[in-house]
Amino acid sequence: MESILGKLRGSPLAARVVPFVIFAALTSCQGFFGEAGKYWFYVAKTLIGAWLIWAIWPVVSEMRWTLSWEAVFVGVAIFALWVSLDPYYPKFTKADKPWNPFAFFGVGTGLAWLILVVRIVGSALVVPPLEELFYRSFVYRYIIKPDFTTVPLGTFHPVSFVATSAVFGAVHREWLAGILCGLAYQWLVVRKGRLGDAMTAHAITNFLLGGWVVYKGAWHFW
């Protein structure tokens, strides 16, 4: 355990890349364990993601939550765009079998609600720090200069701005919404010169989307 922590905390590159890669790899594997397994695997993945954030927190100073009116506005606006644009453009892949705990564990059951709470909390509090740290703190600055830690977070670089947002969109099934999302979060980082506003906006978007999914039964978003 100490050696793992040492490696994560000992390299600016490892601290920003390795947690995201681990979390992304776990995400890609969560469908390999049967219908019940995909729900419990998500719980395990979320706990691992939370541990990874704890592991790198002391050495990644920019990974701190901050609140601003811009972050709230962007978070709500991206949620609205994500939902409203959905019927109007083709997706990269067909939706898998809906991620719906009510359909598997039973409507209104305690287990179903537990899984849903973990999903919403995980998407709002675990996903944003890991993704924003990777895309906005590492990828964006690395495109500008391989010695990325010397590039201020508030630096505007047109090629990196577009490229990072395009990559962010490409890893989402809803690619168009993902690109707009990436542009908006990157704008926050450049405008504020810090990562925390983008983390907050990302958290608001994901929280509202999770609530929408449960309220409307729009499980295809998950």
Give the model's pLDDT for residue 95: 62
Q: Element (H or E) spanning 94, and its range?
A: none
Give the model's pLDDT for residue 5: 81
Residue 93 pLDDT exceeds 90: no
2 falls in which pLDDT band (50, 70, 90)? low
pLDDT, tens only, 25-55: 998 888 787 888 889 999 999 999 999 999 9
Determine the 3-state secondary structure of 95 from DSSP. Answer: coil
How are the residues of the chain apportioned to helix, strand and coil, as percentages rounded to the nearest 5? Answer: 75, 0, 25
Residue 104 pLDDT exceeds 80: yes
96 falls in which pLDDT band (50, 70, 90)? low
pLDDT, tens only, 131-170: 999 999 999 999 999 999 999 999 999 999 999 999 999 9
Residue 3 pLDDT exceeds 80: no
Candidates 70, 11, 73; CA nearest to 189 is 70
DSSP code of residue 145: -
Burial grade of 10 (CB within 10 A; 0-12, 13-18, 19 or more): exposed
Give the model's pLDDT for residue 205: 98
pLDDT, tens only, 177-222: 999 999 999 999 999 999 999 999 999 999 999 999 999 999 999 8
Residue 65 pLDDT exceeds 90: yes
Give the model's pLDDT for residue 59: 94
Candidates 165, 192, 181; CA nearest to 221 is 181
Return all residues near 60 (Cβ < 8 A) that are at least 6 apart: 15, 16, 133, 137
User: What is the Cβ-side half-sphere exposure of residue 16, based on CA atoms within 13 angstroms?
Assistant: 21
Give the model's pLDDT for residue 29: 87
